Amino acid sequence: MKLVISAVITIAAAFAFFTPESQALSPYYKPTASQHHFTTIIDQLKTFRNVTWDSPVSMWVQIPASEQGRAAELADIIQDRARGALMQPFCVHIFVTKGQTLARSCVY
């Protein structure tokens, strides 16, 4: 009986330890269905290289270096399109190199 209880506790501890860890190790937030749909639309536009969600309210959009001068304009375009499509507060961050925001526009 002690062996069975010990096995159950070990299995429960393994699930408790590894399940949140696997989520924490994921580099990006898993978008909702509407966020995924909007991301797909933005991804198809030739101006943008990569679109990811880091959190429920943080969308990161990579642009080519040649478009740096238009970063603020592109952030505003995405924000305007998302206002009606997503119906949620969030900020879009435009970048060329991850971690270096060129422009940001938020919907509240």
What are the structural domain ranges in the chain? 33-107
- Residue range 3-30: mean pLDDT, rounded: 49
Read off the tokens for 41.
């639309």
Degrees, nearest 5: CA angle 71-77-79? 100
At residue 71, does pLDDT exceed 90?
yes
Residue pointed to by tokens 């961050």? 93
Report pLDDT for 46: 84
Query: Tell me, what's the pLDDT at 29?
Result: 77
Taking residues 13-35, report their average pLDDT.
57
pLDDT of residue 12: 43
Residue 21 has pLDDT above 90, yes or no: no
